[in-house]
Amino acid sequence: MDDGSRLPHRGPAKVIDWIQGLFSGVFHFFKGEQEDSVTEKEIISMVDEAHEKGVLQKDEAEMIQNIFAFEDKEVGVVMTHRSSVAAFAMDDLLKDVVNHMMEEENSRYPVCGEDMDDIRGLIHYKDALKFFTQNPWAKFKPLKELPGLIRKATFVPETRHIGQLFRTMQARQVHMAVVVDEYGQTAGIVTMEDLIEEIVGDIFDEYDESRDTFRTQVDNSIIIDGLASLDDVEQELDIEFGDVEMETLNGYLTELLGHIPSREDLDKEIVANGYRFKILSLGNRTIGRVRAEKINDKETKGESEKCQDIQNSQT
């Protein structure tokens, strides 16, 4: 049952009426008498004062302020940058796609042709899993040979305001869009959840994995974000990387690999600094997540000479 106090479904551009109705008592409290119209600047001022006087809770005040900021932000500010986007290739086998999806936390992924600047469409986890279970013959087929599995992608410029994009995605029932820059190259992706979080803050459900940089597992191994700084990794694992030029774990492990990470590197293990680092996921030409497992002294002797070279050559 709708009590009339919920955010209207028409989108952020229409919420001024909702705010005026919901907080009409607040307006009356501060202005003595309700005016015929209230400007955005006046509302923000009243919200700040209402929060200071305890009429509004902090999260309530922040949400209202976020609504007004919503219309002015550009997509490029809230998108996930291409370097952090997990995507599949048209040549990837369905079985590999499904296996990778089961290890990840996302429900939708871009599908690329030659590279990230050649996005052919999107693939949904539910679609892939359903197709996989209903068509055993398809598991060893590449995505390009499975018509109907890849959905059409929506492309938007990174300069588009997110209020406008929200209304477009809502009307078209689109949950993910590909963001392109002024040269038509892929800048990143944006989801409906990204846009809503600009108002209400981070959204988690029972299927979301923790977004922490470090996650200790039951076997005492640690899942680490590839973009974690080496300083933080040193503290977490109680190790020293030495005076190296790289700033992130991704950069360090990529140097050890000797090449830009690709699909062939998934599940590859790199022994370094007394730990075995297993590559679990990839971004765009980056290592997404790794599992770090402490190894014994005998295994430590098998560390690659290249690892030692990196540490020694930059000291």
> HEC profile for 73-95?
CEHHHHCEEHHHCCCEECCCEHH
Query: Is 206 among the domain residues?
Result: no
pLDDT for residue 13: 41
Q: Are residues 62 and 85 in the same domain?
A: no
Q: Are residues 220 and 289 in the same domain?
A: yes
Q: Are residues 174 and 223 in the same domain?
A: no
pLDDT for residue 287: 87
Higher pLDDT residue, 209 or 170? 170
Q: Are residues 109 and 172 in the same domain?
A: yes
**Spatial separation of the C-alpha atoms in residues 193 and 183, rounded to whole Å:** 26
pLDDT for residue 5: 35
Q: Are residues 64 and 82 in the same domain?
A: no
Query: Is 303 among the domain residues?
Result: yes
Q: Are residues 45 and 150 in the same domain?
A: no
**Confidence class for position 85, pLDDT limits 50, 70, 90:** confident
Query: Is 236 among the domain residues?
Result: yes
**Confidence class for position 55, pLDDT limits 50, 70, 90:** low
Question: Quick check: 47 pLDDT over 80?
Answer: no
Q: Are residues 53 and 80 in the same domain?
A: no
pLDDT for residue 33: 46
Query: Is 2 among the domain residues?
Result: no
Q: Are residues 254 and 296 in the same domain?
A: yes
**Spatial separation of the C-alpha atoms in residues 47 and 26, rounded to whole Å:** 8
Structure confidence by residue, pLDDT tens digits, 168-183: 998 999 999 999 999 9
State the Cα torsion 14-20-22-28 to the nearest 10°. Answer: 180
pLDDT for residue 127: 95
pLDDT for residue 213: 82
- Residue ending a domain, among 40, 70, 100, is 70
| Domain interval for residue 221 | 214-313
Query: Is 6 among the domain residues?
Result: no
Q: Are residues 28 and 102 in the same domain?
A: no
Q: Are residues 84 and 192 in the same domain?
A: yes
Question: pTM of the predicted model, to two decimals?
Answer: 0.56
Asked if 131 and 94 touch (Cβ cutoff 8 Å), the reply is yes
Query: Is 63 among the domain residues?
Result: yes
Q: Are residues 142 and 165 in the same domain?
A: yes
State the Cα torsion 227-232-237-239 to the nearest 10°. Answer: 110
What is the token pair recorded at 229?
A: 């700084």
Question: In whole numbers, what is the pLDDT of the chain averaged over residues?
Answer: 78
Query: Is 207 among the domain residues?
Result: no
- CATH number, domain with residue 109: 3.10.580.10
Query: Is 208 among the domain residues?
Result: no
Helix (H, G, I), strand (E, B) or coil at 139: coil
Question: Quick check: 302 pLDDT over 70?
Answer: no
The domain total for the chain is 3
Structure confidence by residue, pLDDT tens digits, 184-203: 999 999 998 888 877 766 55
pLDDT for residue 253: 95
Structure confidence by residue, pLDDT tens digits, 3-29: 433 333 444 444 444 444 444 444 454
- Residue ending a domain, among 200, 228, 259, is 200
Q: Are residues 189 and 99 in the same domain?
A: yes
- CATH number, domain with residue 260: 3.30.465.10
